[in-house]
Amino acid sequence: MTALRGQLRESVPMARYTTWRVGGPAERLYEPADAADLGVFLASDQAVEPLFWLGLGSNLLVRDGGLRGSVIRLHRGLASLQDLGAGRVHADAGVPCAKLARWCGRRGYAGAEFFAGIPGTVGGALAMNAGAWGGETWAHVESVATVDRAGRVHQRRPGDFEVGYRRVQGAASEWFTAAILQFRPDGDPKALNDRVRSLLGERAETQPTGMASGGSVFRNPPGDHAARLIESAGLKGAREGGAWVSEKHANFIVHGGDARAADIESLIHHVQARVEALHGVVLEPEVRVVGEEVCDAH
């Protein structure tokens, strides 16, 4: 049996690894050394199910009771970028999307600027077809590498998946480890980096980037915007414990420092109920809610 080269820890508080800064402990957390080590881990009896995949911890709410099984964090070991020429880029799943945007800009690869507005990693962007400012991840995918539960690696094309707005289905029981992305090779590096800086400045003006949040909470319903519906329902500033709906952008719930995951989840449900009652629209969460609830003793 090949020895593991990554780092395996037990009872790890997930508040350290989520952008909401809440969440109970993971039973175990593994940070693979690289893609080969990830395969070894998955094939071993150390990979206790269920498995949870973690990038930068955005778009993720871990309940206060924590997570049973194994959290696999790719941000350290699968974090390389390779220039394949002519606008083609090999990106590991753990690469932050904002880093990808800047890296492509320096090389004059146009079309990657929107990745600066995605607060997670390439793996998460692939899993949900993340997008910003009119761009979407899968519009640039040439191929992907996945790994299955036995540690076997597969090369797949976009045709192997059903891709929609913030949804990707296909290749069940496989997880993304890398992608080859195609951008336009004819961009001007200075203009592209100016564009990225401008977009990030716009994001800072319109979103609560200086506070702990999980990113956009709800998917935009067809033909409308979740933020508009939430604001028109009078929910900006609505509170639950130490969490509240952002005054800056209504589709963000922020953590003021003493919130529990239960406060955030309760506020999500309150927003859904209020918007449905007033507008007849059921808002669908964009964030994933995982883990065990804590029963308060009375």
Choosing from 166, 174, 260, 265, which is the catalytic residue? Answer: 166
Per-residue pLDDT tens over the stretch 234-281: 999 999 999 999 999 999 999 988 999 999 999 999 999 999 999 999
* Residue 127 near residue 288, CB atoms below 8 Å: no
Choosing from 31, 113, 240, 286, which is the catalytic residue? Answer: 286
Active site residue 166: yes
Active site residue 286: yes
276 phi/psi in degrees, rounded to 5: -65, -40
Are 260 and 217 part of one and the same domain? yes
| Domain end point (choices 203, 233, 268) | 203
pLDDT surpassing 50 at residue 156: yes
82 phi/psi in degrees, rounded to 5: -130, 135
Per-residue pLDDT tens over the stretch 224-244: 999 999 999 999 999 999 999
pLDDT value of position 200: 87
Considering its fold, how many domains does the chain have in total?
3
pLDDT surpassing 60 at residue 297: no
pLDDT surpassing 50 at residue 298: no
Residue with tokens 């209020």: 274
Question: CATH code at 49?
Answer: 3.30.43.10
**Residue 73 pLDDT grade (very low, low, confident, very high; cuts 50, 70, 90):** very high
Note the maximum CA span of the chain.
65
Per-residue pLDDT tens over the stretch 170-220: 988 899 999 999 999 999 999 999 999 998 898 888 999 889 999 999 999
Are 102 and 128 part of one and the same domain? yes
Choosing from 58, 70, 213, 216, which is the catalytic residue? Answer: 216
Least-confidence region, from 55-59, 99-103, 150-154, 278-282: 55-59
Question: CATH code at 226?
Answer: 3.90.78.10
State the Cα–Cα distance between residues 187 and 201, nearest whole angstrom. 21
Print the domain residue range for 183: 81-203
| Domain end point (choices 22, 42, 73) | 73
Phi/psi zone of residue 168: left (φ > 0), alpha (ψ -120 to 50 degrees), beta?
beta
